[in-house]
Amino acid sequence: MVFRVYDDGLGFRTEFPDQPALRQVNIQEELTQFNIASSGTAWWLPALEWNRAEYLYNRTPIAEVGMAQTPMTVKLESGLHIAFHEAALVDYAGMSLQKVEGTHFKAVLTPAAKARRSAARHRS
């Protein structure tokens, strides 16, 4: 895992080191989960719908979010804002957020675009 921490946020990704016997990595499922520690408000779009780019953003309590397309932005009761999104989707599927329970979400890869990346490829 590679983490990058900035003044106003953080990012992380999994990298696969060069391995002579491993030429390609096929990722079928994303295991990343996010547990938002307090309640608040979420701005989100429904994910995996045929015309998802045409929806207006929902503004609901975080606990009422269903399957959300990223970016999803939340404002906690403390006033802290968090935006969930993906970046550098080279050979990797987009991500949606599926509510597991309450304010606990898991990442879900876009079904038609599962990740197939060369194991030797390094992203910076």
Identify the bridge partners of residue 76 per DSSP, sorted by sequence position: 40
DSSP single-letter state for residue 47: S
Give how far Cα 35 sits from Cα of 3, 50, 68, Å: 18, 28, 15
Position with higher pLDDT, 72 vs 24? 72
Please give the residue that has the higher pLDDT: either 18 or 69: 69
The candidate with the shortest Cα–Cα distance to 27, out of 120, 121, 119, is: 119
What's this model's pTM, rounded to 2 decimal places?
0.79
Phi-psi category of 6—alpha, beta or left, where left has phi over 0 and alpha has psi -120 to 50?
A: beta
At residue 102, the 3 state secondary structure works out as coil
- Residue 121 scores a pLDDT above 70: no
- In angstroms, rounded to a whole number, what is the distance separating the alpha carbons of residues 96 and 72? 9
Q: Which region among 19-28, 39-48, 70-79, 115-124 has the lowest average model confidence (pLDDT)?
A: 115-124
Is residue 65 a contact partner of residue 98, using CB atoms and an 8 Å limit? no
